[in-house]
Amino acid sequence: MITEWAEGLRVLHVAHNIAAERFERWDQVTSISAAALSTVVGTAIFATLADSSQTALGLITGTLSLAVAALSTAQLIWNYPQLAAQHRAAAVRYVTVRRQVDMMLADSSRLTDDSVNAVSTTWG
């Protein structure tokens, strides 16, 4: 049973680290995309004001403006930095329990009913 716990804890620890990295990456992608698109929209608005006969450019500008608004809203709703922090904290909790289990497996004298119950309580 304790060997299965060790493997489960390893998987959870790695999974939460991967999730944290993904959320941090998505935060960067949405932030950079929103900044780049807002720059393009600002420039395009000035270009359409200078030559109002270009309807296609106005349509593109409007579409980009909506994309910027959507990305900005997504950043607020999804809150990637907070999700990344939560996964990092979970990974730290799992690695702590994982180390306890690894120590029990390495030294069988530590493998008592009390220590197994303590790990079970901490993990579960």
The residues spanned by each domain of the chain are: 2-123
Least confident among 36-40, 41-45, 113-117: 41-45
The model's confidence at residue 49, banded by pLDDT at 50, 70 and 90, is low
CA distance 55 to 61: 10
pLDDT surpassing 70 at residue 70: yes
pLDDT surpassing 90 at residue 41: no
pLDDT surpassing 90 at residue 54: no
The single-letter code of the amino acid at 95 is V
Instruction: Identify the residue with better confidence: 75 or 17.
Output: 17
Average pLDDT value over all residues in the chain: 84
Cβ pair 94, 16 in contact under 8 A: yes
CA distance 14 to 104: 20
Q: pTM here?
A: 0.60
